[in-house]
Amino acid sequence: MKLTILGCHSATPRDNARPTAQVLEVKGHLFLIDCGEGTQMALRKHGVKFARIKHIFISHLHGDHVYGLVGLISTFCLLGREQPLHVYGPKGIKEMIELQMRLGSSYMPFELRFRESVEPTATLLLEDDSLTVTSIPLNHRVYTHGFLVREKPGERHLDVVACEELDVEKAYYRKIKQGADYVRENGEVINNEKLTTPGKPPKSYAFCSDTMYKEDIIPQITGVTALYHESTFLKPHEDLCKKTKHSTAAQAATIAKKADVGMLILGHYSSRYKSYDMFTDEARPIFENSHCALDGKVFEF
């Protein structure tokens, strides 16, 4: 998986502090997650091909996560996009976008499909042969959910030497890689385990922003390869977390530790802090493999 941070700052955007947006490249997909104001400029800046974006996931309807969406969709229209676009977000997002498109008398040359969420529990949003995307219920001032992108187990590695020794017909190799046992014409069964070794372990990514500290999410995200968890504040401002329903870097790290994730990416920084190191300094004593998101930074995992 390849994650490109387009923006990772909270609230009031600046040219050098973009609001939340990121693209996740996984199994041939390019998912756009959140779309704050200016996201289309950031996509261009980082050379992301607009046509590759077919699915956009919006966590909640605060401006710093969604106000760039209508502009991006308008640009898709102006560029003559033809392929459908799927937008996943909280109830209301369809009305928000359609009203603006209607007031601008925009011609929509492609199909725009909305999947609006209202569910209070984790819900499967997208599934294909290679992955699933499930919502992660969060606790913020408005209805908010994160997203869990989970690869399906890939093909097993064929043990060609074993296959040849056991005289397996090559026509069956594909099915065997997919996990099937081999059955000879005489009915003899050779177990898949004798012919293959496990494939690459499937990877997973959890995006959790915006939210206050919420241990309920731990069972769902346990063991993910990478977790993006918001850290708007630092410990000295923990009182603001309760008021605004955000988290500190320490709280994000505690979730990462308890969920035994592979890696923690911090983000959604309040503009009151002048250094990113302050966030990793707070997180790493709790969860060592903590990293700061930065506008334009790429994580591969």
Task: Name the residues annotated as catalytic.
Answer: 64
The residues with which 206 forms a beta bridge, in sequence order, are 148, 227
Q: How far is CA 82 from the centre of its chain?
A: 25
Q: Does 64 show up as a binding residue in the annotation?
A: yes
Residues 10-39 close enough to bind its own copies by CB under 8 A: 11-15, 37-38
- The answer to the question of residue 41 lying near its own copies (CB under 8 A) is yes
CA atoms within 13 A on the CB side of 277: 1
* Alpha carbon distances (Å) from 27 to 34, 266, 287: 20, 24, 28
- The answer to the question of residue 202 lying near its own copies (CB under 8 A) is no
Q: Are 205 and 226 in contact (CB under 8 A)?
A: yes
Between 29 and 62, CB nearer to its own copies: 62
Q: State the Cα–Cα distance between residues 54 and 265, nearest whole angstrom.
A: 25
Q: Does 55 show up as a binding residue in the annotation?
A: no
Between 142 and 298, CB nearer to its own copies: 142
One residue of 51, 99, 183, 298 binding its own copies per CB under 8 A: 99
Which of the ranges 63-71, 108-116, 146-154, 211-219 carries the binding residues for its own copies, by CB under 8 A? 63-71
Between 79 and 160, CB nearer to its own copies: 79
Structure tokens, 85? 């676009």
Q: Does 65 show up as a binding residue in the annotation?
A: yes
- The answer to the question of residue 296 lying near its own copies (CB under 8 A) is no
Q: State the Cα–Cα distance between residues 229 and 139, nearest whole angstrom.
A: 13
Which of the ranges 97-105, 120-128, 171-179, 247-255 carries the binding residues for its own copies, by CB under 8 A? 97-105
Which of the ranges 73-81, 145-153, 197-205, 209-217 carries the binding residues for its own copies, by CB under 8 A? 73-81
Q: Does 157 show up as a binding residue in the annotation?
A: no
Burial of 95 (0-12, 13-18, 19+ CB in 10 A): exposed
Helix ranges restricted to H, 54-190: 63-66, 69-78, 93-103, 160-165, 173-177
Q: State the Cα–Cα distance between residues 215 and 220, nearest whole angstrom.
A: 10
Residues 129-158 close enough to bind its own copies by CB under 8 A: 141-142
- The answer to the question of residue 84 lying near its own copies (CB under 8 A) is no
Q: State the Cα–Cα distance between residues 245 and 10, nearest whole angstrom.
A: 13
Helix ranges restricted to H, 90-222: 93-103, 160-165, 173-177, 218-221
One residue of 2, 54, 95, 235 binding its own copies per CB under 8 A: 95
* Binding site as annotated, residues: 60, 62, 64-65, 140, 210, 268
Binding site for its own copies (CB under 8 A): 11-15, 37-38, 40-41, 44-45, 61-64, 66-68, 70-71, 74-75, 78-79, 92-93, 95-96, 99-100, 103-106, 141-142
* Binding site as annotated, residues for Zn(2+): 60, 62, 64-65, 140, 210, 268
